[in-house]
Structure 1
Amino acid sequence: MTDRAPHTRETTRQLQDDLHHLSQTIEELVNATADDSRHNVKELRERAEQRLRETRERLEARGERAYREARDSVTQQADACDRYVHDNPWTSIGIGAAVGVVVGMLIGRR
């Protein structure tokens, strides 16, 4: 868990930077629309569209990476659980029975 903390902070920082750049470009576009200069508006609009595309691509890539990492982590945990159950079948049966008794008692109280 501690190994992921620096990666999460870095990803968060990159996301903040991307959104900051995008908002700056949009602010410039809004300010430029006050001018009558059509060339200036067109140039800023193109820059805003480009930054929006880049930000969207980065966010999609980060979302896919986060999904893959979560999927891999869950798979590893499931494999570890499976190995434990195969290595310690009687302990696993005991744990399952104990959990069943506790759940049964909780349900029976209602």
Structure 2
Amino acid sequence: MADRTPHTRETTQQLKEDLRHLSQTVEELVSATADDSRNNIKELRERAEKRLNETRARLEARGERAYHDARDTVTQQADACDRYVHDNPWTSIGIGAAVGVVVGMLIGRR
């Protein structure tokens, strides 16, 4: 898990920078519309659209990566649990029974 922390920081930093660039471009677009200079507006609008599309693509890619990482982690945890149950069947039965007793006692109190 410790090896993911730098990746998470890097991703967060990149996201902040992407949003900062996008924000700057939108601010430039807003200030350019005050001039009402058609060429300037068109150029800034194209840049804003380009940055928006780039940011959207990066966010989608990061979302896909996060989904795959989470799916892989859950799969690994499920496999580890499955191995533990197969390696220690009586311990697993004991743990399940103990949890069942506790849940039964809690339900019975109501």
Using structure 2 for the length normalisation, give the TM-score.
0.98
Q: Deviations over 1:29-79 (max 9, x none)?
A: 000001121000000000000000000000000000000000000000000
Q: How does 1:3-14 map to 2 (within 5 A)?
A: 3-14=3-14
Counterpart residue identity of residue 93, structure 2: I
Counterpart position of 2:93: 93
Which secondary structure state, in structure 1, belongs to the residue aligned with residue 35 of structure 2?
coil
Give the RMSD, CA atoms, in angstroms: 0.6
Distance 1:36 1:50 in 2: 21
Using structure 1 for the length normalisation, give the TM-score.
0.98
Q: Deviations over 1:19-38 (max 9, x none)?
A: 00000000000000011210
Runs of at least 4 residues off by over 6 Å: none
Q: How does 1:1-110 map to 2 (within 5 A)?
A: 1-110=1-110
Number of aligned residue pairs: 110
Distance 2:16 2:36 in 1: 32
Any unmatched runs of 5+ in structure 2?
none
